[in-house]
Amino acid sequence: GENVEQHPSTLSVQEGDSAVIKCTYSDSASNYFPWYKQELGKGPQLIIDIRSNVGEKKDQRIAVTLNKTAKHFSLHITETQPEDSAVYFCAASPFSGGYNKLIFGAGTRLAVHP
Amino acid sequence: DAEITQSPRHKITETGRQVTLACHQTWNHNNMFWYRQDLGHGLRLIHYSYGVQDTNKGEVSDGYSVSRSNTEDLPLTLESAASSQTSVYFCASSETSPTSEQFFGPGTRLTVL
């Protein structure tokens, strides 16, 4: 089955700096890769996603890149702000049968210091 | 507004007791999921359902069961609670599209003593 590894487990940056979180996956059949943000005491919330036919996707200060050959994808946050502090999870989903079961990475705790 | 709720938010129980965690969504989503969240492991899938009367085992299903009698609810039952099941449990729901967003509930913190 699918296995997703995520690095680093913790990341500390200064406000305004960029943050990069990397994930690798094992199942070449996986075709959909969402990223979720979890704030303290809340459930995870989708912030951006990418499909296998796309190499990069941007949404304001966040972007995701995908390298299917190497089976890795990354989240990039530019001009970080204190409200970006949270736990971020990557996930992979085999694109089969019309279903969206997700396998998550272990998470990255991002701290943005003013 | 549509939402997904979980109850209770906090639960303390004793080893060997049966525990049921409730999940209710008003999105009218066919897909529903249960995850547990533990430090260092992220979110691990326990059980999932793609519609009424459909249930499937996830990565860590031993000791857990679910039933889906209607679209809105997917209760999670711990048959005989163990200390290893101390965790935070999240329910999620989504539409049936393969790339549909999963909407998560606020979580239930379960402690098994």
pLDDT tens per residue, range B21-72: 999 999 999 999 999 999 888 899 999 999 999 999 998 999 999 999 999 9
B 79-108: CB under 8 A from A:
90, 92, 94, 96-102, 104-107
Q: How far is residue B76's CA from residue B90's CA, in Å, rounded to a whole number? A: 10
Residue B25's pLDDT is what?
Answer: 97
Other beta carbons within 10 angstroms of residue A31's beta carbon come to 19
Nearest by CB: A43 against B48, B101, B107: B107
In the A/B pair of chains, how many CB contacts fall below 8 A? 68
> Residues A33-67: pLDDT tens digits?
999 999 999 999 999 999 888 899 999 999 999 99
Backbone angles phi, psi at A98, to 5 degrees: 75, 15
The helix/strand/coil state of B62 is coil
Strands (E), B1-113: 4-7, 10-13, 19-25, 31-38, 42-51, 54-57, 64-66, 76-78, 87-94, 103-104, 108-112
pLDDT at A97 over 60: no
Provide the pLDDT for residue A94.
73
Extract the tokens encoding A14: 């200064």
**pLDDT above 80 for B98:** no
Q: Please, which residues have CB within 8 angstroms of residue A104's CB and are 6 or more apart in sequence?
A: A4, A36, A89, A90, A91, B35, B42, B43, B44
Lowest-confidence segment of A9-13, A34-38, B93-97 by average pLDDT: B93-97
Give the CA-trace dihedral at B96, B97, B98, B104, to 10 degrees: -60
Least confident of A52-61, A105-114, B5-14, B62-71: A52-61
Q: Do B40 and A42 touch (CB under 8 A)?
A: no
What pLDDT is attached to residue A29?
A: 86
- Beta strands B31-38 and B19-25 are unpaired
Distance separating alpha carbons of residues B104 and B4, to the nearest angstrom: 7
Chain B CB contacts of A98 under 8 Å are 96-98
Q: Which amino acid is at A13?
A: V
Rounded to a whole number of angstroms, the CA Rg of chain A reads 14
Q: Do B44 and A44 touch (CB under 8 A)?
A: no
Residue A106 pLDDT more than 90? yes
Q: Supply the pLDDT for residue A96.
A: 58
Residue in chain A nearest B48 by alpha carbon: A101
CB contact under 8 A, A44 and B104: yes
Contact list in A for residue B43 (CB cut-off 8 A) is: 44, 89, 104, 107
**Quick one: pLDDT at residue B7?**
97
Contact A99 B107 (CB under 8 A): no
